[in-house]
Amino acid sequence: MVATAARRRTPFKGRSLVAVGLLAFLAVAALVVWRRSVGVATAKAIAMASDRKRMLESERKTLGRDIRDAQSRKRVMAEAEKRLGFHVAPDSQTRMLAAPAKAP
């Protein structure tokens, strides 16, 4: 019985040590592959977000330009003449009024 008790307490030997080393290597390799795949997916998501940001900024600039164009006096006058039948009054029909002076 003494021989069996001593045999159970001995550290890993031979095949057991190789198996544990192989399992540790496989675990580390799996972690590396997983980390790289997560990194690739994150990089792809960042690239897509960057492309979307550039597209939205371009659209914002285009819309801002369209708004400024629509608010311009030339465009407003043309639309008023076309839709509402307005016309620019000649000088004979306009009067210039002075602003009242402010009291000190």
Per-residue pLDDT of 58-90, as tens digits, reads 999 999 999 999 999 889 888 888 888 888 888
Instruction: Please give the pLDDT value at position 4.
Output: 57
- Residue ranges of domains in the chain: 15-84
Amino acid at 6: A
Q: Please give the C-alpha separations between residue 21 and each of 7, 12, 29, 39, 64, in angstroms, as whole numbers.
A: 22, 11, 12, 27, 64
Kindly report, residue by residue over 2-60, the tens digit of the pLDDT: 555 555 656 767 888 899 999 999 999 999 999 999 999 999 999 999 999 999 999 99
Instruction: Please give the pLDDT value at position 8.
Output: 61
Whole-model pTM: value is 0.53
Q: How many Cβ atoms sit within 10 Å of the Cβ of residue 33?
A: 10
Instruction: Please give the pLDDT value at position 34.
Output: 97
